[in-house]
Amino acid sequence: MKFVKKSPWILHYDGSSCNGCDIEVLACLTPLYDVERFGIINTGNPKHADILLITGSVNEQNIPVVKQLYEQMAEPKVVAAIGICATSGGIFAECYNVVGGVDKVLPVDVYVPGCAARPEAIIDGVVKALAILEEKSKDARKKTGK
């Protein structure tokens, strides 16, 4: 059984965003969208999380932070870039300190476009991420021979 699909725990990291997408991510937890219906929990702890949601672009300052968060997560794990800033840099792309989208530093699995990405789109992105997560856990099990 693939239980990871039934209990995806999320870590949300805010890069250099305008906070628009952050609010939308948090809106998913409110009674209106209630992602806990799908067993989704916002953990705030990389060691407990399965999905890393990143909003906002990556800049010179937060590259080590993003990398460290990713490395601390237990396998299998996926990364979802939320909002156009996280996918390509968005309106901040030209800034002197902005490196670009999250995929400049981490292997991103799901891109959720939008400025700001709507909660429906974010939930959709998480569901896509779950399918990838399942693939990854299958591969991981094959590798370890279990």
CA distance 146 to 138: 10
Query: Which CB sits closer to another protein, 31 or 145?
Result: 31
Residue 107 sits in the site that holds another protein (CB under 8 A): no
Q: List the beta strands (DSSP E) in the chain.
A: 9-14, 41-42, 51-55, 58-59, 78-82, 98-100, 110-112
User: Does residue number 104 form part of the binding site for another protein (CB under 8 A)?
Assistant: no
> From the list 14, 18, 20, 38, which residue makes contact with another protein (rule: CB under 8 A)?
38
Q: Are 133 and 50 in contact (CB under 8 A)?
A: yes
Among 75, 91, 120, 139, binds another protein (CB under 8 A): 75
Q: For residue 74, state whether it binds another protein (rule: CB under 8 A).
A: yes
43 binds another protein (CB under 8 A): yes
Q: Which is nearer to another protein, 8 or 100 (CB)?
A: 8
Interface residues with ligand SF4 (CB under 6 A) are 17-18, 20-21, 55-56, 83-85, 90-91, 115-116
Bridge partners of residue 51, in order along the sequence: 10, 78
Q: Min. distance of Cβ 23 from ligand SF4 in angstroms?
A: 8
Phi and psi torsions of 121, nearest 5°? -65, -40
- Is 25:53 a contact under the CB 8 Å cutoff? yes
